[in-house]
Amino acid sequence: MGILDFLTGEFIDVIHWVDDTQDTLVWRFERHGHEIKYGAKLTVREGQAAVFVHEGVIADVFTPGLYLLETNNMPILTTLQNWDHGFRSPFKSEIYFVNTTRFSDLKWGTKNPIILRDPEFGPMRIRAYGTYTIKVTDPALFMREIVGTDGEFTMDEISFQIRNIIVQEFSRVIAQSGIPVLDMAANTGDLGKLVAFEIAGTLAQYGLTMPELYIENISLPPAVEEALDKRSSMGIAGDLGRFTQYSTAEAITAAARNPSGGGALGAGLGAGMGMAMAGQIAQQQAGPWGAPMSAPAQAPAAPQTQALTPPKPPVEKVWHIAESGETRGPFSRADLGRMAADGSLSRDTYAWTSGQDGWMRAEDVAELAQLFTVLPPPPPES
């Protein structure tokens, strides 16, 4: 081996990139004057791609592997330079390393509430947030559309735009889904896949893909959540009379624990509540004419009457109908009756209401079948 061959081997370029930032998408290999020696070694690791840019034009893209930069390994760049087989001098070209691994645990969320029409409660405002994963699938397209000449492009520079795309598609999908608010928690997985599918076309124009999108939570305004909590509490409490007694006892206990919180007023209020509670207990233990139930009866006693809590008015159902692949509604039963009378609702029209197992024809639903059997009486004789 001659001294010239030895020195040539010692000064061979080794081009590679080791990322230790965890958020860099693109990094430019810096070289004085962008001069790359002919025969340099290029190392592209797994999860990377190397993009050569020559005179502002994207030339060759190298996938993971070890390359010796010669004319046979750089076909596009060789064509641009009109090199012959005897080429040995350095060439000027920019080398960008693109990170093709998944960037996970990225956050997204709705900055402003999303307004939708709920089948049960009407217009509602909701918020949502979650995480997503992003990945570069086309390094050349990503360089051309997003990065440009940025020597170090990080995830923060594009995450804001991606979040806007997610929120836009989520708002559109959730508004068209027709899923009741109380059932959204059971469908977050399907909603996330649907939103990711709708976003795929837009991201593909940037050379990106979104392998995963998760919806962690869908929340309602605080006032609505408080109303739902009260409704749940009433359902758990059951009998309203027992709930009132329990609340009275709790108020007396709280007043007793706070002797300085009301003085004579608190004492009088506690005494009054105690007397009211005692009166309720005595009324329950007394017979229909005030006689104790334990006293011997001289005559057959009339059946004991008990004050009943008036039943809650039934919640009127609302209906949706499907025509030509589109849904309409919500409609009350009275609305459907008028539609049946003018012919806009037929027996074969598909209808759905909350709690019903899928879409059914109107004549197969007992409540709607009656609309087609009620006929007007004969006209009066003149």
**Which residue(s) pair with 153 in the sheet?**
26
Boundary-marking domain end, from 188, 223, 258? 223
- Specify whether the CB–CB gap between 217 and 225 falls below 8 A: no
Residue 332 lies in a domain: yes
Per-residue model confidence (pLDDT) at position 1: 42
Q: Verify that 36 and 84 share a domain, yes or no.
A: yes
Q: Cα separations (Å) of 375 from 1, 303, 334, 338?
A: 110, 45, 16, 13
Any idea what the CATH number is for the domain that residue 130 is in? 3.30.479.30
In angstroms, the CA 353 to CA 333 distance is 11
Q: Verify that 197 and 109 share a domain, yes or no.
A: yes
Boundary-marking domain end, from 202, 223, 244? 223
**Owner of token pair 């962690």:** 216
Q: What range does the domain containing 366 cover?
A: 319-372
Q: Verify that 172 and 64 share a domain, yes or no.
A: no
Boundary-marking domain end, from 223, 253, 270? 223
Domain count, the chain: 3
pLDDT tens, N- to C-terminus, the chain (382 residues): 444 443 344 445 788 999 888 889 999 888 765 677 777 888 999 999 999 887 778 888 999 999 887 765 565 555 555 555 445 556 677 889 999 999 999 999 998 888 888 888 888 899 999 999 999 999 999 998 888 878 889 999 999 999 999 999 999 998 888 888 888 888 889 899 999 999 999 999 999 999 999 999 988 888 888 877 777 776 666 666 666 776 777 778 777 777 665 554 455 555 555 555 556 655 655 554 444 554 444 555 555 555 566 666 666 788 888 888 888 888 888 888 888 888 888 888 889 898 888 888 888 888 888 888 765 656 677 5
- Specify whether the CB–CB gap between 209 and 138 falls below 8 A: no
Residue 34 lies in a domain: yes
